[in-house]
Amino acid sequence: MSSAQSAPPPLVDPDAEGCAPGQRRELQQQRLGELVDRLLRADGLQARRLRGAGVRAGADVSLEDLAKLPLVTKQDLWEHYPWGLIAVPREQVVCLHGSSGTSGRPTLVPYTAVDVAIWADVMARALGGAGANRSSVIQVAYGYGLFTGGQGMHHGGMRLGATVLPLSAGMTDRQLRMLTDLRPDVLCCTPSYAIYLGEALRASGVEPGTGSLKVGIFGAEPWTEGMRTQIESLLGLRALDIYGLSEIIGPGVACESLDSGGLLNVAEDHFYVEAIDPEGNPVPDGTPGELVFSTLTKTGMPLLRYRSGDIATLSGPAEDSPRTLRRMSKLLGRRDDMLVIRGVNVFPTEIEAVLLADSRVGPHYLIVEDRRAPARPELRVAVEPSSEAVGAEALATELGGALRERLGVGCHVRVVSAGTVPRTEVGKARRLERWAEGDEVPDRWRVLL
């Protein structure tokens, strides 16, 4: 496996990944009808909404009319927690996954054996598209448990026939030992932990590119091209993005391949994807919109038109690639993470793109939406310099100007000393904080005032 290979990585499932688009659409139409019939038989919330929209059978629904059907939201999952949207007898559930949402409100998703098999299949495709094969050793440094990251990579690696190292998140000393002793060629973790590992490797005297790693599959957090550059520089590998959410299947809903032109191939034979505007109207390819998914084949908790909250663009297949799947961009942000500062809409990923485009900025930063004075909301940004030789005052001034030019709104930028921004070994990095009226600023962040 090589990041510079001339031939695209072979297809793991040629009939699914390389299918003619017209033929795939026929399959999607068939599976959409079967999905609607499953929901109607389950006779739950989605069935009631479908009947309210005049749908009596799967034959009543076409892909062309899909946008007219009701949407499902995370609020629906919360209100029917924990089993409300299950569509099979409970004894068919073989595992549960999920996450905590706003204020720790849990989302639980039941999986049948059929669902786990689908998950393994799409993850095997994702790993194969990254160049992994039966000879690969895959170090999985995503967390295991209710979070789907570790288990998804594990299922996919085993389905592919590779050797899986299920280390889970954290335990960085052990991660470094396995990198040295077992020489894996594939690393799977969050992008923020990839940075953490890269810095730990450098501190241990390992130079980038001298190890065994060839490719990394990094997800669970939105990350930009700037962070891709940082990760590749630290670890000496090709960094690829993966996307998923537990409500749909977990990682494997879409994944970047070595030949996908920087976009992520959607496993659209299983997950039909739309992009909509805030009013729910479809947006054309290339226009940012909220991703909406229908789980065409899932059985435990099938969902029709689930609003993900994630913002991205859609496009057709990559040219000159055997993969004929539609693609999505890297996430631009989440609907609930969008900041509105003095009438200007800003996604945190836009700020990251500006910060990490400057070589003087290290990979650790924090964004604060400061609404302690509601009439005068402010954006505050803390960054660490890439080296002690960087002039903090000049860097803060120039970053402030670059952010104003990109965003159309001013930001208070502070260059803080190395180690000030918290690191994370386990879970997702916290890069955004919100201060509301009446909040006391934590002592560690008084440097931003």
Dist. CA 156–CA 277, nearest whole Å: 33
Average pLDDT on 169-188 reads: 94
pLDDT higher than threshold 60 for residue 258: yes
Task: Give the per-residue pLDDT at 222.
Answer: 84
Using one digit for the tens of pLDDT, what is the confidence trace for 223-232?
Answer: 889 889 999 9
pLDDT higher than threshold 70 for residue 313: yes
Task: Give the per-residue pLDDT at 101.
Answer: 54
Task: Give the per-residue pLDDT at 104.
Answer: 58
Task: Give the per-residue pLDDT at 85.
Answer: 95
Dist. CA 264–CA 93, nearest whole Å: 30
Phi then psi dihedrals of residue 213, to 5 deg? -65, 135
Whose CA is closest to 323, among 269, 364, 286, 401?
269
pLDDT higher than threshold 70 for residue 4: no
Q: What integer best gives the mean pLDDT of the chain?
A: 91
pLDDT higher than threshold 90 for residue 210: no
Q: Within a 10 A sphere around the Cβ of 57, how many other Cβ atoms?
A: 11
Using one digit for the tens of pLDDT, what is the confidence trace for 14-70?
Answer: 999 999 999 999 999 999 999 999 999 999 999 999 999 999 999 999 999 999 999
Cβ atoms of 45 and 80 closer than 8 Å: yes
Dist. CA 113–CA 185, nearest whole Å: 30
**DSSP code string of 331-359:** P-EEGGG-EEETTEEE-HHHHHHHHHTST
**Looking at 73-87, 271-285, 423-437, which range is the least confident one?**
423-437
Which 3 state secondary structure label does DSSP give 107? Answer: strand
Task: Give the per-residue pLDDT at 274.
Answer: 98
Task: Give the per-residue pLDDT at 3.
Answer: 41
pLDDT higher than threshold 90 for residue 333: no
Task: Give the per-residue pLDDT at 182.
Answer: 95
For residue 2, name the pLDDT band (cuts at 50, 70, 90): very low
Dist. CA 374–CA 280, nearest whole Å: 29
- Domains of the chain (ranges, CATH numbers): 14-22+82-333 (3.40.50.12780), 338-448 (3.30.300.30)
pLDDT higher than threshold 50 for residue 139: yes
Average pLDDT on 276-282 reads: 94
**What residues are paired with 346 via a beta bridge?**
339
Dist. CA 334–CA 101, nearest whole Å: 13
Using one digit for the tens of pLDDT, what is the confidence trace for 72-119?
Answer: 999 999 999 999 899 999 999 999 999 755 445 778 999 999 999 999
For residue 6, name the pLDDT band (cuts at 50, 70, 90): low
